[in-house]
Chain A
Amino acid sequence: MAQVLFVVTILVLGYALVQITQGNLDRLSVKSGYGFLAEKAPFELGESLIPFSAGDTYLRAFVVGILNTLKVAALGIVLSTVLGLLIALGQLSPSVVVARVCRFYIETARNVPLLMQLIFWYALITASLPRVKQALSPMPGVYLSNRGLNLPSLDMGGAGGAVALALLAGMIAAIVLLMLRRRIAISPWFIGAVSILPALLTWAASGAVLSAQMPELKGFNFRGGMAVSPEFLALLLGLTIYTAAFNAEVIRAGVLGVPKGQREAATALGLKPATTMRLVIIPQALRIIIPPMGNNYLNLTKESSLAVAIGYPEVVRVANITLAETSQSIECISIIMLVFLTISLTTSALLNWFNARAALVSR
Chain B
Amino acid sequence: MNFKTIAIAAACTIALGTSARAELLDDIKAKDELVCGTLNYLPGVGYLNDEGKWSGFDVDFCRGAAAAILGDAEKVKFVALTGPQKFPALDSGEIDILSRSVTQTISRETTLGYDFIGPNMLTGQGFMVPADSGVTSLDDLDGATICLLGGTVTERYLAEYFSAKGMSFTPVASEGSDQMYPMYFDGRCDAVTQEPPYMAIRRMNSGNPDAHVILDQIVAKSYEAPVIREGDPKFREVLQWMHYGMITAEEMGITMDNIDEVMETTNDPEVRRFLGLEGDIGASMGVSNDWMVNVIKAVGNYGEFFDRNLGKNSPLGVERGMNALYRDGGAMIAPGWQ
Contacts and interface: CB of A to CB of B under 8 A. Distances in A.
A159 B209 CA distance: 49
B190 interface: yes
B187 A132 contact: yes
B170 A325 contact: no
Interface string B172-196: 1111000000110011101000000
Given A42-B159, A46-B171, A231-B172, A311 B150 contact: yes
A220 B143 contact: yes
Nearest to B153: A324
A309 B173 CA distance: 9
Given A42-B159, A132-B187, A321-B151, A221 B171 contact: no
A interface, over-half SS = mixed
Nearest to A218: B143
Contacts of B151: 320-321, 323-324
B173 to A, nearest CB: 4
B291 to A, nearest CB: 40
Contacts of B145: 147, 220-221
A230 interface: yes
B252 to A, nearest CB: 44
Interface residues of A, number: 33
B215 to A, nearest CB: 15
Contact of B163 (A54, A223, A325): A54
A313 B148 CA distance: 13
Contacts of A126: 182-183, 186, 188
Interface in A168-203: none
A45 interface: yes
Contact of B170 (A44, A55, A127, A131): A44
Interface string B150-163: 11110110111011
B169 interface: yes
B216 interface: no
Contacts of B156: 42-43, 325
B142 interface: yes
B155 A46 contact: no
B11 interface: no
Interface in A204-255: 218-221, 223, 230-231
A317 interface: yes
A241 B313 CA distance: 51
Contact of B150 (A47, A132, A147, A321): A321
Given A132-B187, A321-B151, A127 B182 contact: yes
A220 B186 contact: no
B144 interface: yes
Contact of B169 (A44, A131, A132): A44
A146 B175 contact: no
B173 A317 contact: yes
A232 B324 CA distance: 45
Given A43-B171, A146-B187, A230-B188, A317 B159 contact: no
Interface of B: 142-145, 150-153, 155-156, 158-160, 162-163, 168-175, 182-183, 186-188, 190
Given A42-B156, A221-B190, A321-B151, 18 more contacts: A54-B159, A54-B160, A55-B163, A127-B182, A127-B186, A218-B143, A219-B142, A219-B144, A221-B144, A221-B145, A230-B188, A308-B175, A309-B175, A313-B173, A317-B150, A320-B151, A321-B173, A323-B151
Shortest 3 CB-CB contacts between residues of A and residues of B: A54-B159, A131-B187, A311-B173
16 contacts: A43-B156, A43-B171, A44-B159, A44-B169, A53-B163, A53-B168, A126-B183, A132-B187, A147-B145, A223-B143, A231-B172, A308-B175, A311-B172, A320-B151, A321-B150, A325-B155
